[in-house]
Amino acid sequence: DQQVKQNSPSLSVQEGRISILNCDYTNSMFDYFLWYKKYPAEGPTFLISISSIKDKNEDGRFTVFLNKSAKHLSLHIVPSQPGDSAVYFCAAKWGAGSYQLTFGKGTKLSVIP
């Protein structure tokens, strides 16, 4: 049973426009959420995170929104750049002191020049 779902396997966006990547979760105990970016043949790299006590966190072109009532979070990239083309993973953690991250299957973003 997938606890973290990224229902869109892929997304194409024109350069300069907004990219919106979505993630849904089922476990209401999750208290911390992260987005990772992964290029082919490389390990994932941390992008941005949000605690369950917040509903928005912004870092440059990247903003993550959290809607706890809907168990939904989204990553906004504005403006999108060709270098943003990668697979984006949503991940979640629950429980104080827990070490386990639960990952979604990823969304492949293609930014078209």
Binding site for another protein (CB under 8 A): 4, 9, 32, 34, 36, 41-46, 49, 51, 89, 91, 93, 97-106
Nearer to another protein, 17 or 105 (CB): 105
Nearer to another protein, 17 or 56 (CB): 56
Nearer to another protein, 9 or 82 (CB): 9
Q: How far is the CB of 90 from another protein (least distance, A)?
A: 8
Cα separation, 60 vs 90, in Å, equals 19
The pair of three-digit structure tokens given for residue 101, joined into one six-digit string: 């991250």
Cα separation, 22 vs 8, in Å, equals 8
Cα separation, 79 vs 7, in Å, equals 23
